[in-house]
Structure 1
Amino acid sequence: MSDSGSLDDERDRIRERKKRELQRRLENGGELGADDGAATPSEPIAIEGQAHLDDVVDEHDVVLVDCYADWCGPCQMLEPTIEALAEETDAAVAKVDVDRHQRLAQQLGAQGVPTLVLYADGQPVERTVGAQSKGQLRGLIEQYS
């Protein structure tokens, strides 16, 4: 029960933070200024190559990159968690199909799938291999948000 309560408290804090950000944007004429960065997408971004990944990492303060494969069971189990994190956190979530983008996956250090790489301020700061719990990933994101 205490875990559920703390999750609810965390969701409320996130919602309040997002409300404040939206209010600030509305007060500034409803548009994102150059200093505000890009709005964080609420769905995972399908990465189409190195340049696309570079753009996403440059546009957002915190980016969680999921290196996955369609045939990977743990990747499939992780999918709902990845989608929830995209919707519920301030991090942008990006997905790299290791079969389509082998060189990029190699550059990200993905020797197994799923591999998750967390970027903060344009730099890789954490790397995990294997399915992780939503709580573990949320904790990593919040550490750098």
Structure 2
Amino acid sequence: MVIELNEQNFEQEVLNTKDLILVDFYATWCGPCKMMHPVIENLANDNIVKVCKCDVDKNRSIAMRYSISSIPTLILFKDGQDKAVAHGYMPKEQLIKFIEENKG
């Protein structure tokens, strides 16, 4: 299951947890973001990592806090801290590799 983030739940779902969390910063009008959608959904169903999405148009302050200047941007969080960032579309295999390389 992918959790949709907003100003009200971001702190609870991402910052106040020790879990490994992948946050997909996206916009509904973004072509590469639309291509990423099934990859993100598929990854969430595999339960490899907690997966969240954040619409940058609806949550500008969150996007600004993490200096999101291009989308999709994927940020891996652990212990409430951003650990790694990736930009642009990537296939599931590459996304899993990104998570594995940065989960420590």
Report deviation, 1:107. 0.9
Letter in 1 for 2:34: Q
Point out 4+ residue stretches in structure 1 off by more than 4 angstroms.
none
Q: Is 1:54 equivalent to 2:11 in the alignment? A: yes
* Higher RCO (C-alpha 8 Å, min separation 6): 2
CA distance in 2, matches of 1:122, 1:59: 6
| Larger strand percent | 2
Question: How large is the RMSD of aligned CA atoms in angstroms?
Answer: 1.5
* 2:22 alignment partner in structure 1: 64
Pair 1:60–1:84, CA change in 2 (3 A)? farther
* 1:105 alignment partner in structure 2: 63
Letter in 1 for 2:2: P
Q: Is 1:74 equivalent to 2:32 in the alignment? A: yes
Letter in 2 for 1:46: E
User: What TM-score, normalized to structure 2?
Assistant: 0.88
Q: Is 1:138 equivalent to 2:96 in the alignment? A: yes
1:1-145, aligned counterparts within 5 Å? 43-49=1-7, 51-57=8-14, 58-143=16-101, 144=103
SS at match of 2:24: strand
CA distance in 1, matches of 2:63, 2:9: 13
Q: How many residues align?
A: 102
Unaligned runs of 5+ in 2: none
Report deviation, 1:106. 1.3
Identical columns (%) = 37
| Larger helix percent | 1
CA distance in 1, matches of 2:18, 2:38: 22
Report deviation, 1:60. 4.9
Report deviation, 1:81. 0.3
CA distance in 2, matches of 1:60, 1:45: 16
Contact 1:62/1:141 (CA < 8 Å) preserved in 2? no
Pair 1:59–1:90, CA change in 2 (3 A)? farther
